[in-house]
Structure 1
Amino acid sequence: VAGAAGLCTVNDYARLLAGTRVLVVEDNRLNQDVLQGLLQRAGVQVVLAANGAEALQRLLGDGRFDGVLMDCQMPVMDGYGTTRKIRGYPHLRSLPIIAVTASSQADVQGRVLAAGMSDLISKPLEVTAFYRTLVRWIKHLELPAGAIAASLPNGVSAPAYPGIDSALGLAVVNQDLALHHKLLADFRDEQQGLIERLWQAHAAEDLQAIGFLAHSLQGAAGNIGATAVRQAARQLEEQCAGQADLAPLIRQLAQCLEPLLAGLVCLPAAGAGPQGRESEALGSEQVLKLERLAKLLRNHNAQALALVDELCEQSRCSALRAIQERIYRLEFQQAYELLVDLRAAQG
């Protein structure tokens, strides 16, 4: 490697990672898109896992990874428990595992290190710090923070949307305007019913569900530059551990989120056009599995987790990914409704 003096841009830094292979363990699809986009632009081969159990399966089935980016809070098996299990295998004890978290808890760094992870990256991502941390652990090269200067493409104009700091949103995706627009459309589509779900959880006194929804929103909002929504979601998550009345915080979050979503209504659907995910016809065997999945979802049967993973392994259908995300959140009714739409589209 030429050394720090020869590295002056983010792209120079990222090129050090070209040809490496990284496992991204993340349950949130928007966060998957951000991480995958940044890594692929650096020439990194990316393998995705939606939860800790899936990550462990991939590592044991194909151990040739140069590093792991590990979300800390996930359904099925969280990042802390997953890391402890990984470190139990001798050939994986030195594998770099870097936590990626939007958690506002003060003790998160201590928990990360105690679980056996190598380092911590905070969401929303700061691109230079993201690449620098990966280079430190994967290439064993330490460069000073001042050695990196972000290179901004000429002609990139930040779009204006209510509640969105587009400069921050573009910085997260390294000035990739197409990816920024895609994340905005994904955010709008996936957060439509969030406030309603929060009120339902509040009525059921389900603090765990409120905390999970607020945490997930906090990370997604950070990825698009929605600073007010991110702050409101953080305050809601922090208060879930106490005895405070959460209703005012949910109302505050709604006041930030609802006009933001309304301002994004003009964006095309995330799957539309040449930049979106392609819809894919399912084979007869997969259609039969959809029928089985529908029965499991109607009965709120947790076996749906394994079956939807199997289907997603066999197909890149975007509708299946959306169903998988709902199931991971244990939102069986919402997953079933999406499945009904998919079956209708498949004829």
Structure 2
Amino acid sequence: MIEEYLYEMITLVVILTSLLLYFLLITQFKQENKKVLETIHLSESYELSGEEEGSFDTTSPPFEKEGTTVHTSPRKKKIKKVKVPAHGKIHKENFKDFSGIKILVAEDNIINQEVIRGLLADSGIQITMADNGQVALDILEKNADFDIILMDVHMPIVDGFQATRRIRADSKYEHIIVVALSGDTAADDITKMKTSGMEEYLEKPLRMDAFYDILYAYTKEESQLSEFVEVIMTKELNGDQGLHVCGGDDEFYKDILHEFIQSYTNSPQKLSDLLDRNKTYLADSMLLDFIGITANIGALNISKIALELKKAIKDTEEKSYSIILEEYKLHLEILVRDIKEYIQ
């Protein structure tokens, strides 16, 4: 009798314990589920809330991951842009119209830096140079007092896309216009620049009229243009193109040509070595810079050949680029000879 009683008591205790554990688990599950639903609700509320106060677009795609860096899409400020009135050919002197503005230039190529620095020399525009996107971000962290950033999209360490996203994610930089600098002209490339937060796009080689128009559109309010001076045509090197980029400054143009000779006279051998070691991506990067620089100085023929070579090096199996590389070498030798005659 006693044994049956104990057996019933033990059975009852087991049943009660099981019921208690069951209710505890159900309660915990409901609490966790409630937290998840609240989180989802908050997320949906943020996505559907439209615009924040002020003039930023807050429509944000999901988080995006590049390597080990996680970031969100940039916030874009709606900045005033005025209509540029009709004008004649732009000369270096015309950039004095923007005296006092501050420009941060993020560009890793030394010759391109010199082109911009020389073009804006004596204009009264304050220029700060950064060799890559990380340097630009470090400069901004210490001093955000810039009107415009000229941002090369292809740079080492931190490229222009990454740097711009980080700039656009910080409201203290909302007053700064970011202008892309690139030789990439495809619609998809330009869309990528816009998506990253760049307001405008300047094609390499830099055209003075386009550069002037962007500075005017974002820094001027009145239609006051200075006089414009025609640039003189020179030689087979197409000095009109080169002098135009250099603002009609003959001495500055010669300085750029001198730097070009020092930097690229041995480029055929460098390219050949890179391709022999299957360093195609480095050869491609070198050619991209070369194409932009040669177009800047007015060496249009070899610029086109370099573009063909850039396309041909992708065919690593057939190595069809060998013939074009020889053509590149021949034209470069002629170009270097012509430049030496011109600058002496």
Counterpart contact for 2:84–2:217, Cα < 8 Å: no
Distance 1:229 1:9, change over 3 A: closer
Q: Hey, what does 1:151 align to over in structure 2?
A: 229
Residue identity in the other structure for 2:90: V
Q: Is the 8 A contact 1:124 1:223 kept in 2?
A: yes
Q: 1:136 to 1:207 in 2, by over 3 A?
A: same
Q: Which runs of 5+ in 1 are unaligned?
A: 270-347
Residue of structure 2 aligned with 1:19, choices 100, 103, 128 = 100
* SS of structure 2 residue aligned to 1:80: helix
Give yes or no for the alignment of 1:197 onto 2:270: yes
1:173 pairs, out of 231, 246, 251, with 246
Q: Does 1:250 align with 2:300?
A: no
Following superposition of structure 1 onto structure 2, how do residues 100-179 of structure 1 map, counting pairs within 5 Å? 100-139=181-220, 150-152=228-230, 158=234, 160=235, 164-179=237-252
Query: 1:64 is paired with a residue of what secondary structure?
Result: coil
Deviations 1:230-283 (A, max 9, x none): 1112222234455663223322221221211133335779xxxxxxxxxxxxxx
Task: Classify 1:122/1:34 alpha carbon distance in 2 versus 1 (closer, same or farther; 3 Å).
Answer: same
Distance verdict in 2 for CA 1:217–1:142, change over 3 Å: farther
Name the larger-Rg structure. Answer: 2
In structure 2, what is the Cα distance between the partners aligned to 1:210 and 1:27?
Answer: 16
The within-5 A match list for 1:18-57 is 18-57=99-138
Provide the rounded CA distance (Å) in 1 between the counterparts of 2:259 and 2:85. Answer: 39
Conserved? CA contact 1:236–1:250, under 8 Å? yes
Cα distance, 1:239–1:106 mapped onto 2, change above 3 Å: farther
Shift of 1:5: 6.6
Residue type of the partner of 2:242? G
Task: Give the conservation status (yes or no) of the 8 Å contact 2:97–2:226.
Answer: no
User: Is the counterpart of residue 65 in structure 1 residue 149 in structure 2?
Assistant: no
Q: Shift of the alpha carbon at 1:7?
A: 6.1
1:204 Cα deviation from its structure 2 partner: 1.0
Query: Which letter does structure 2 place at the counterpart of 1:152?
Result: E
Shift of 1:193: 1.6
| 1:22–1:44 Cα contact (<8 Å) kept | yes
Alpha-carbon separation, structure 2, partners of 1:261 and 1:212: 21
Instruction: State TM-score, norm by structure 1.
Output: 0.67
Residue type of the alignment partner of 1:174: G
Partner SS, residue 23 of structure 1: strand
The one-letter code sitting in structure 2 at the alignment partner of 1:215 is L
Contact 1:126–1:172 (8 Å) recurs in 2: yes
Q: What does residue range 321-336 of structure 1 map to in structure 2 within 5 Å?
A: none
- For 1:220, the equivalent position in structure 2 comes to 293
Partners of 1:127 and 1:18 in 2: how far apart?
Answer: 16
What are the Cα deviations for residues 313-344 of structure 1, in whole angstroms up to 9, with x where unaligned? xxxxxxxxxxxxxxxxxxxxxxxxxxxxxxxx
Paired residues of 2:84 and 2:213 also in contact (CA < 8 A): no
SS of equivalent residue, structure 2 residue 103: strand
Superposed displacement of residue 180, structure 1: 0.7
Distance 1:190 1:5 in 2: 39
Shift of 1:149: 7.7
Uncovered stretches (5+) of structure 2, i.e. residues with no partner? 1-82
Tell me how far 1:227 sits from its aligned partner. Answer: 0.2
Check conservation: 1:69, 1:97, Cα contact below 8 A. Answer: yes
> Could you state the TM-score of these two structures normalised by the residue count of structure 2?
0.68
In 2, the alpha carbon distance for the partners of 1:9 and 1:241 equals: 39
Alpha carbons 1:124, 1:219 under 8 Å: kept: yes
- Please identify runs of 4+ aligned residues in structure 1 that moved more than 3 A: 3-13, 138-143, 147-150, 238-244, 265-269
Structure 2 residue matching 1:10: 3-state secondary structure: coil
1:85 maps onto 2:163 in alignment:
no
Letter in 1 for 2:272: W
RMSD value, Cα: 2.9
Q: Counterparts of 1:253 and 1:142 in 2: how far apart (Å)?
A: 46
Amino acid at match of 2:271: L
1:296-316: CA deviation from partner (whole Å, max 9, x where unpaired): xxxxxxxxxxxxxxxxxxxxx
Identical columns (%): 24
User: Given the superposition, is the C-alpha separation of residues 214 and 105 from structure 1 closer, same or farther in structure 2, using an over 3 Å criterion?
Assistant: farther
